[in-house]
Chain A
Amino acid sequence: AQSVTQPDIHITVSEGASLELRCNYSYGATPYLFWYVQSPGQGLQLLLKYFSGDTLVQGIKGFEAEFKRSQSSFNLRKPSVHWSDAAEYFCASEDSSYKLIFGSGTRLLVRP
């Protein structure tokens, strides 16, 4: 069965530091991949998505993600984290029936 793995449950970074959140997927073909952010008490908001083409994808709020087929990864990055980035981040892929499969999420804490 297809799956999405986010190995880090929590990550803490200092404000202004760089950030990388890890995501691994299991799917034979090139998957559709997504990153969503969930702020406290809110629904999910799409940060970025990858379908094909350029493996470095730019998203909203200064986030980017890189698709690496050889590593089955789609890691999310941001060069300088702001306190407002504290939230839960979900990686997702599209399964063979075009529905989303979500990872278990990574909670980002930002130290002032």
Chain B
Amino acid sequence: DAGITQSPRYKITETGRQVTLMCHQTWSHSYMFWYRQDLGHGLRLIYYSAAADITDKGEVPDGYVVSRSKTENFPLTLESATRSQTSVYFCASSVGLAGNNEQFFGPGTRLTVL
């Protein structure tokens, strides 16, 4: 299907485990983003990528790792999950960074860390 997809949609894991959240887009957008959504905080940027093999930190990058070997995929890894990483994670993509380029969001992954 065309668009931006995330998998899994729901994930429960335990403290200390490694978890990878997947994001895939079919538009060949250059930019991809990972946000986390927490009550009272809205969405906060974790990492973003301007192109394959180019990534940069956002507002809350600690505890997360990203990679982008292909334009269409942007996985987010929690190397050792903590309870504070329980959140809803959204992936987004856009043609460019400036405000004239709309960001398109995936449906989200709800992650619970026990």
Contacts and interface: CB of A to CB of B under 8 A. Distances in A.
B105 interface: yes
A83 interface: no
Interface of B: 4, 35, 40-45, 48, 58, 90, 92, 97-100, 102-103, 105-108
Interface in A85-100: 90, 94, 98-100
Contacts, number: 52
Contacts of B98: 32, 94, 98
A35 to B, nearest CB: 12
A98 B42 contact: no
Contacts of A94: 98-99
Contacts of A42: 107-108
Contact of B43 (A45, A46, A49, A102): A102
Contacts of B100: 32, 51
B90 A105 contact: no
Contacts of A45: 105
Given A36-B105, A49-B102, A100-B43, 13 more contacts: A6-B42, A32-B100, A51-B100, A90-B43, A94-B99, A99-B45, A99-B48, A100-B45, A100-B103, A102-B35, A102-B44, A103-B42, A104-B41
